[in-house]
Amino acid sequence: MLLTQERLPAIYLLNLNGGKSWRIYKRYVSLFASINNVFDVTYKSGGYEQSRNANFGQAFIDVQRGAPQFGNKHWYGYGRTYFVNLAISF
């Protein structure tokens, strides 16, 4: 239908996090790491409809064209990302 809100597909992501800390003398050394989106899934995380001044008839013709000139815009989630943190407490 022309005026219905677009529903994005459901997705599942796998994130791994881990860390360890050690007491060395009177200080703490900590190492933490994480991997987000382990399977490197490409997904739409949200979007919006473009604003324009038009009526229903013009919007209908635009959609019938096959590649709407004022179609929805989406943004995508990051692929696989890594993070490592080394901390030394004084």
Question: For 27-39, how does the pLDDT look when each residue is reduced to its tens digit (9 = 90+)?
Answer: 999 999 999 999 9
* pLDDT digits 0-9 by tens, 37-53: 999 999 998 888 776 66
Q: What is the full DSSP assignment across 11-76?
A: -----EEEEEEEEETTEEEEEEEEEESTT----EEEEEEPP----HHHHHHHHHTSS-TT-EEEEE
**pLDDT of 65 strictly over 70:** yes
pTM above 0.85, yes or no: no
pLDDT for 72 equals 77
Is 54 within a domain? no
Tell me the sheet residues that pair with 87. Answer: 30
Expressed as residue numbers, the domain containing 27 is 16-48+76-89
How many domains is the chain built from?
1
Question: Would you say residue 22 lies in a domain?
Answer: yes
